[in-house]
Chain A
Amino acid sequence: MIRISPTYPLAAVIAVCALLPLVVLGILAEAPDGLLQARNLRLLGNTLLLAGLTACGSIAIGVPFALLTAYVSLPLQRLWLVLLAAPLALPSYIGAFAFFAAFGPSGEFAVTLGVTIPSVEGMAGAALVMTLYTYPFVMLTTRAALLSLDASQVHAARILGLSLSASLWQVVLPRALRGIGAGALLAALYALSDFGTPAIMGVDTFTRMIYVEYNAFSLGRAAVLSLQLLVIVGLVLFLESQLSSTSERPGRALALYPTSAQTLSAAAVALPIILLALALPIGIFTLWLWREGSAGFELSYVWNSAYAALLAGGFAAILAIPMALAAMAGPAGRFMERLTYFGFGVPGIVMGTALVYVGLQLPSLYQTLMLLVAAYVMRFLPLAVGSLRATAEGIDESLVKAARVLGATPREAFMRVTLPLTRRGLIAGAALVFLESMRELPATLLLAPTGFETLATYLWRVYEAGYFGRAAVPGLLLVLISAFGLMLILSGEQQGDTAHREEECN
C-alpha cells in the first residue's frame, strides 16, 4: 500500500498557487509581435551582458575573499567575514541610488568636495553596482566549499615543490569549482531579476522594459517580456541544478598564518570594496539627513512596510509547515517543494504584473493589502520552507517515535514534539520573509493599496521626483533593516558551524 502523507493535499495546493503567475502570464501574453525584433534582441543582449558581467565580477571579488576568510588566520576573523558578507544584505537599488547621487559632475562628491569623479551609470555602472552587492554570494558558497576540503593535498603539493599560489590555483580551486559556479549563478540570477539598479543606471533590461510596458498598461506585452525573462531565469536555475556535488573525505581545512604586512595588504584590498558598498550609501544618506533633516517623511511608511511584511512573514511561516513536512515525507513532496522555488525565481516586477491582472479579474482583491501580501508570500515562501526544513531534519526521529510508542496520535506527536522543536527554524524563516518583504520594491510599486506608502516605494518616489535629500530617512532605515537580516543569516550560519564542530568532537 502506498502511504500518502496527510500534508500532501495542502502542499499540492500551495505548489499550484506558486505556479499561478506563470499561468496568468500565459493567458495574458499577446502573440509576440516579432519575437526576434531588433529591440528584443537588444534587450536580451543587455540583460545577458549585465548578468554575465555581474557573474564574472562577483567571481573576481568573491573568490579571493573566500580564500581569505576560509584559510587565512586573521585578527578579528569574525569581523572580516561580517563586513565582507554585509553588502549581500543591502538591496542593490539602495547602492545604485547612492552611486547615482554621489558621482558625476553634479554628484555629492563634486558638490561637497569639489572633486569631480566620472558618473557611475549605464551598463558599466549597473554591472559595478550589481557586482558590489552580489559578490558575497560567490564568497559564501566558495568559502563553504573551501572549508570542506582536506588540506593534505595542498601539503603534498607544497612538499613536492609547488608554490603556495600555484597550489591554490591547481589543487584547491578546481575542487571548489562547484561552489564558485553556484555562487556565480546566484549572482547572475539576482542581476536578471533586479529592477531598481538597471532602472536607476539607465540600462534597458527586461525588468525595466516590463515596467515601461506596465506603465503604458500594455499588460499583454509586459507578459510576453516576463515570459521571455522567465525562460532565462529557468535556464539559470537548470544550470544550477546540474552542478553535481562532489564529496570528499572530510579533513582539516588549510590554515595560513600571514605576516602583519600581508594582513595589512589584505585589508588594503578589502577596504575599497567595503567603502564603496557600505560606507558610501550610509555616508550619502547621512549627509542628506544632516543637510535636509527628515522633511516629508512620515512614520506611517515604516508602519506600512512592517505591517505588510509581518503579514507576509506570518503567512509564509504557516504555509511553510505543511510544505516542509511534505518535502521530508517523500519524493512527491520534494517535487512540490521544488515548485514553490519557482516563485523565488520570479522577478518582483513579473509577479506584480501577473497579480495586477488577477486583481482586475477579481475586483475584490484589486489594490488590496492581501494581494500584496500574496505576492510577498509567493516570492519568499522558499526562504521559510528552507529554514524550517533545515531545523526539522535535525530533529532526532526517535523523539517522535517515543511519543508514538507512548500513545500519542501522529497529530499529537506533531503538535507536542515536532512543532516545538522546530520553532526556532520557523521563526527564523518567518523573519527572513519579513525582512525580504520590507525591502521588496517592484511588486510593491505595482500592488500597494492606494495611499499605502512603504519605505521602498517612498524611496522610489523621491528618486523619480528628483528630491534626493528626502531619501535619507527611508534609505538609512532600509540599511538598518538589512543589518538585522544579516545578523539573522550569520547567526544561522554560526549555529551550523557550532553544530558541525560538536559533531566533529563526538
Chain B
Amino acid sequence: MRRRAFIQGMAAAGGLAFLPSLRAATSVDELPPLEGDLTLYLGRGEGGLYENVLKAIETRNPKLKLGVRRGPTAALANAIVAEGKAGVQRADVFWAVDSGAVGLISDAGIARPLPSDVAAQLQLAFRYDNWTPVTGRIRTLPYHTGRLSAEQIPEDIMAFPDSGLTLGWSPAYASFQSFITAMRLLEGDAATKDWLQRVKRSGKSYAGELGVVMAVERGEVDVGFANHYYTLRLKAGKPDANVALAYTRNDAGCLVNASAAVAVSDKPLATNFIRYLLTEQVQSYLAREAYEIPLVEGVAPPGALPRMSAINPPEIDLTALADLRPTLDLMRDADVL
C-alpha cells in the first residue's frame, strides 16, 4: 500500500517537477568531509555510473581512502554474512543494487543502526532503521515494438510461460532474484518453481539485464524481464530503438524495488558516506544519467519515467525481499541458476 502511495506521489511530483519542492534535499556542501579508510562492498550491476559517483566523492574528499570490493550483489551479501559468522569484518559499507540483499544482512544482525536524520531525508514509505534505500527501480517487461503491441503482452506475470512469446532473462542478477522472492511470497513456492521451469523452456539467458533489453531490441526474444532503467538508457542512446515497456498489474511483475546502502561497521565515516549517497547531487545524477528514481524528498524524478499512474505494484514490503536464500534454493532446484 505504502508503495502505491509512493508511486502515485511520484507521478504527481513528476508532473510538477519544475516547481520548487517544499523540502530541499541535502547538498554535499552541508556534509562533513570524509577522511580515513573506508571499505565499500559494491554490488555491481550498474556499470560505470555508480563508479562515477564514487569517483566524484573521492575527488571531493581527497583524504578519503576508499577501497572498493566489487562483485554480484547477492555474492557480496552472502560474503558479508559469512564474514560476520566467522568473526571477520572487512566491509564498512555495502551498497547493493537490490534491497533484498541488504535485508539479508539486516536480518543476520550485522547491520548497524543509522542515525534518525538519515531516514528522515527519505520519502515516508522508504524509511528504515538500520539500512537505507538509495534509488528506486520498477520491474518491467521490455518488448520488441516491431513484433508486438502493448495489448499483446499479458497483464498477469504468471501467464507469460503459456503466452507463446519467447522470453529473455538474467536469472543471476540480484533484481531478478528479488522479483522471484516477491513471486514466491505472492504466489507460493510451488507455483513459482513451476513458473521458472516453464519460462526456462521458452527463455534465453543473458549475463545481465542490459543484455536482456538489447536482445529484445534486436528481436532475439519477444519480451524480457528487466528493471525499467535499462530500457530508458538504451532509448536515450538510440531513440528509434525497437523496444518499449509494458507492465503487469498487482503482481511481482511490476515490483518496485530499491538500491540500498547499509553500514556494517561502527565507523562514523560509514554513516557519513551513506549521507553522501542521499545528497541532492548524487540523487539527481542517478536520476538524470541512470534513469533511477530518486527516493530522497525534494529531488526530481527522471523526465523519461514510464506512465506512473498506470502502474499497479504489488503490496510487498521491501524488507520482505530479504528472504533470499529460499529463492536461491528454489532457483537452484528449478535449474535456472
- Do chains A and B stick together as partners? yes
Seen from chain A, the residues whose Cβ lies within 8 Å of a Cβ on chain B are 39, 42, 105-106, 202, 212, 214-217, 219, 296, 359-361, 363, 366-367, 450-451, 453, 461, 463-467
Contact B88 A360 (CB under 8 A): yes
Q: How far is the CB of A31 from chain B (nearest CB, A)?
A: 16
Within residues 67 to 81 of chain B, which ones have a CB less than 8 A from any CB in chain A?
A: 67-72, 74-75, 78-79, 81
Is the pair A450, B88 in contact by a Cβ cutoff of 8 Å?
no
Across the A-B interface, the 4 shortest Cβ-Cβ residue pairs: A217-B78, A215-B75, A451-B67, A450-B69
A106, A216, A464: residue with the most chain B Cβ atoms closer than 10 Å: A216
In the bound complex, residues from chain B placing their C-beta under 8 Å from that of A212 are 172, 332, 337
A360/B45 contact (C-beta < 8 A), A450-B39, A450-B69 known: no
Closest to B77 in A: A217
Q: What would 21 A/B residue contacts be, using CB atoms closer than 8 Å?
A: A105-B218, A106-B214, A215-B71, A216-B325, A216-B328, A216-B337, A217-B75, A296-B48, A296-B51, A361-B86, A367-B69, A450-B90, A451-B67, A451-B68, A453-B70, A464-B44, A464-B72, A465-B208, A465-B210, A466-B208, A467-B48
Question: Which residues on B sit within 8 Å (CB–CB) of A466?
Answer: 47, 207-208, 210-211, 214
Q: How many whole Å from B86's CB to the nearest CB in chain A?
A: 4
Bound complex: CA A363 to CA B87 (Å): 8
**Beta-carbon contact of A105 and B220 below 8 Å:** yes
**Interface membership of B335, Cβ < 8 A:** yes
Q: Per DSSP, are chain B's interface residues mostly helix, strand or loop, or mixed?
A: mixed
Q: B82: CB under 8 A from chain A?
A: yes
The yes or no answer to B205 lying at the interface (CB within 8 A) is: yes
Given A212-B172, A216-B74, CB of A465 within 8 Å of CB of B90:
no
Contact string against A for B residues 205-221, beta-carbon threshold 8 Å, 1 for contact and 0 otherwise: 10110110011001110
Q: Which residues of B contact A366 (CB under 8 A)?
A: 83, 88, 90
User: Which residues does chain B contribute within 8 Å of A464, judged by CB atoms?
Assistant: 44, 72, 207-208
B218 to chain A, nearest CB (A): 5
Count the A-B residue pairs with Cβ separation under 8 angstroms: how many? 81
Chain B, Cβ-Cβ closest to A366: B88
Which residues on A sit within 8 Å (CB–CB) of B48? Answer: 296, 465, 467
Those of B13-67 within 8 Å (CB) of chain A: 39, 44-48, 51, 66-67
Which of A105, A214, A217, A450 gathers the greatest number of chain B CB atoms within 10 Å? A217
| Minimum Cβ distance to chain B for residue A351 (Å) | 18
Contact A463 B207 (CB under 8 A): yes
In the complex, chain B residues whose CB is within 8 Å of the CB of A367: 69, 90
The reply to whether B90 and A216 contact each other, CB–CB distance below 8 Å, is no
Q: Are B67 and A450 in contact (CB under 8 A)?
A: yes
| Chain B residue nearest to A464 in the complex (CB) | B207
Provide the residues of chain A in CB contact with B71, threshold 8 Å. 215
| A215→B207 contact, CB < 8 A | no
Write the nearest CB–CB distance from A90 to chain B, whole angstroms.
Answer: 22
Contacting pair A465 B69 (CB below 8 A): no
Query: Which residues of the other chain, B, contact A202 by a CB distance below 8 angstroms?
Result: 205
Measured in the bound complex, the distance between the Cα atoms of B74 and A212 in whole Å is: 10
Chain A nearest CB, measured from B10 CB (Å): 27
> Nearest B residue to A451 by beta-carbon distance?
B67
A335 to chain B, nearest CB (A): 35
Nearest CB in chain B to that of A470: its residue: B48
CA distance A366 to B45 in the complex (A): 25
Residue of B with least CB distance to A448 = B69
Please state if A465 and B44 are interface contacts (CB–CB under 8 Å).
yes
The answer to whether A363 touches B220, judged by C-beta atoms less than 8 angstroms apart, is: no
Q: How far is the CB of A299 from chain B (nearest CB, A)?
A: 16
What CA separation (Å) do A366 and B85 show in the bound complex? 14
- Do residues A467 and B47 form an inter-chain contact, with CB atoms below 8 A? yes
The reply to whether B90 and A461 form a contact with Cβ atoms under 8 Å apart is no
A465 contacts B45, CB within 8 Å? yes
- Please, how many angstroms separate the alpha-carbon atoms of A367 and B89 in the complex? 11
| Complex interface: chain B residues within 8 A of A465 (CB) | 44-48, 208, 210
Write the chain A residue with the least CB distance to B72.
A215
Answer whether A451 and B69 are a contact pair too, CB < 8 Å, given A105-B218, A202-B205: yes
Taken together as a complex, chains A and B put the C-alpha atoms of A164 and B268 apart, in Å, by 81
List chain A residues, Cβ under 8 A from B39.
Answer: 450
Q: Determine whether the beta carbon of B210 is less than 8 Å from that of A217.
A: no
Complex Cα distance A215/B82, Å? 11
A506 vs chain B, min Cβ distance (A): 59
Q: Using A450-B39, A465-B44 as known contacts, say yes or no to A214 and B75 having CB atoms under 8 A apart.
A: yes
Residues of B within 8 A of A461 (CB): 44, 70
Q: B208–A215 contact, CB under 8 A?
A: no
Chain B residue contacts of A106, Cβ below 8 A: 214-215, 218, 220
Partner of B78, one of A42, A215, A296, A451: A215
Min CB distance B330 to A, Å, is 12
User: Known contacts being A212-B337, A450-B67, A464-B208, is A217 close to B72, with CB within 8 Å?
Assistant: no
Contact partners of B220 in chain A: CB under 8 A:
105-106
Chain A min CB distance to B237 (Å): 13
Question: Is the beta-carbon distance between A360 and B86 smaller than 8 angstroms?
Answer: yes
Q: Which residues of A contact B211 (CB under 8 A)?
A: 466
By a CB distance below 8 angstroms, the chain A residues around B45 are 465
Complex Cα spacing A363 to B83, Å: 9
Q: Contacts of A214 on B, CB cut-off 8 Å?
A: 75
Q: Check A360/B44 contact, CB under 8 A, given A450-B39, A466-B211.
A: no
Say yes or no: A360-B82 contact (C-beta < 8 A), given A451-B69, A464-B207, A466-B207. Answer: yes
Residue ID in chain B nearest A110 by CB atoms: B218
Contacts of B74 in A (CB 8 A): 215-216
Q: Bound state CA distance, A466 and B46, in angstroms?
A: 10
Residue of B nearest to A359 (CB): B88
Determine the distance from Cα of A475 to Cα of B201 in the docked complex, in whole angstroms. 35
Shortest Cβ gap from A325 to chain B (Å) = 38
C-alpha gap A215/B332 in the complex (Å):
12
Q: Given known contacts A105-B220, A451-B67, is B214 in contact with A217 (CB within 8 Å)? A: no
B241 to chain A, nearest CB (A): 12
Q: Point out the residues of chain A lying under 8 angstroms from B335, CB to CB.
A: 39, 42
A106 to B74, CA, bound (A): 29
Min CB–CB distance B53 → chain A (angstroms): 15
**CA distance in complex: A254, B37 (Å):** 68
In B181-216, the 8 Å CB interface with A consists of 205, 207-208, 210-211, 214-215
Interface residues of B in 135-183 (CB under 8 A from A): 172
Residues of B within 8 A of A39 (CB): 335
CA distance A466 to B72 in the complex (A): 13
Residues 293-315 of B, flagged 1 when their CB comes within 8 A of A and 0 if not, give 00000000000000000000000
Additional A-B contact list (19), CB under 8 Å, known A105-B220, A296-B51, A367-B90: A39-B335, A212-B332, A215-B71, A215-B72, A215-B74, A216-B74, A216-B325, A217-B81, A219-B82, A359-B88, A360-B86, A450-B67, A450-B68, A451-B68, A464-B207, A465-B45, A465-B48, A466-B47, A466-B211
Minimum distance in angstroms from A280 CB to a CB of chain B? 20
B57, chain A: closest CB distance, angstroms: 15
A-side contacts of B172, CB under 8 Å: 212, 215
A467–B220 Cα distance when bound, in Å, is: 19
Tell me the smallest distance from the CB of B166 to a CB of chain A, in Å.
13
CB distance from B265 to the nearest CB of A (A): 13
| Chain A hits for B47, CB < 8 A | 465-467
